[in-house]
Amino acid sequence: MHSLGQEIQGFSKNRLKKQSTRVTTVTGRKLLERRSDDGEGEEQVEELEKGSGFGFVEDKSLDLQVGVVRPFLLLASQDAAHDIDTLQRCKVTHVLNVAFGVDNLFPDQLVYKTTQILDLPDTDITSYFQECSSFIDQAREQDGVVLVHCNAGVSRSSSIVIGYLMLKEGLMFDEAYSQVKLARPSICPNPGFYQQLQSYKP
């Protein structure tokens, strides 16, 4: 009978799969990362091709999916916020823009509030809940419909909407998160926002 320890020692490192991952950096460089055979030590990175250095990877597909969290509270990406057909179809009257450096395109037709939030784990997202929730309530009191968006409609704007449900409706984090996730399945607050929301006590 082999002990587990002997079995582990006898396990041939050659049987481990070699790992390689293709990576496209934000500057458009394409890299191939390889883990060394024994799974330890440094990763080897081989450059496949240089990108054009635009600083972003262009995504041609528009994300016009609008999550209806409440009849008066919608969640989307900047694509939807910049698409007048989508806005009109959803009867949007107010837009809460929590992106950084994203323009408001229809100031003559809609009421805007811009709060520039950085999508970084150490940004104190909860410090924005009060002012953002006041704007959402203002839209609601005017029988309006408010669209909350950031760039992708994934981290910042979803965190603000979850915070609103916790602050104004008294929902616990799990319930608020699952309701927002149901409305817009692609949401994913960054790890810092997620932790802040979990421990948030309005």
- Total number of domains in the chain: 2
The answer to which of 18-22, 66-70, 144-148 has the lowest mean pLDDT is 18-22
Q: Which domain holds residue 45?
A: 17-58
> What integer pLDDT is reported at residue 24 of this predicted model?
61
Do 92 and 181 have their domain in common? yes
> What integer pLDDT is reported at residue 194 of this predicted model?
98
Where do the H-state alpha helices sit in the chain?
A: 4-9, 78-81, 84-89, 129-141, 156-169, 173-183, 191-198
2 assigned to some structural domain: no
Do 33 and 71 have their domain in common? no
Q: Which two tokens stand for residue 4?
A: 């587990």
pTM: 0.71
Residue type, 1: M
> What integer pLDDT is reported at residue 88 of this predicted model?
97
Model confidence pLDDT, tens digit, residues 71-85:
999 999 999 999 999
Do 35 and 93 have their domain in common? no
| CATH code of the domain in which 138 resides | 3.90.190.10
Q: How confident is the model at residue 55 (pLDDT cuts 50, 70, 90)?
A: very low
5 assigned to some structural domain: no
Q: Which of 195, 134, 135 is nearest to 159 (CA)?
A: 195
Instruction: For residues 25-46, give the mean pLDDT.
Output: 58
In order of 56, 57, 75, 79, the CA distances from 27 in angstroms are 6, 7, 29, 22
- Active-site residue, 150 included: yes
DSSP 8-state symbol, 90:
T
Do 188 and 129 have their domain in common? yes
Do 42 and 81 have their domain in common? no
182 assigned to some structural domain: yes
Q: Which residue has the higher pLDDT, 69 or 58?
A: 69
Do 21 and 102 have their domain in common? no
Do 125 and 192 have their domain in common? yes
Q: Which residue has the higher pLDDT, 146 or 23?
A: 146
97 assigned to some structural domain: yes
> What integer pLDDT is reported at residue 61 of this predicted model?
78
In order of 69, 79, 150, 174, the CA distances from 144 in angstroms are 14, 21, 20, 27
The rounded distance, in Å, linking the Cα atoms of 122 and 196 is: 9
Do 89 and 116 have their domain in common? yes
Sign of CA dihedral 38, 40, 41, 46: positive
50 assigned to some structural domain: yes
8 assigned to some structural domain: no
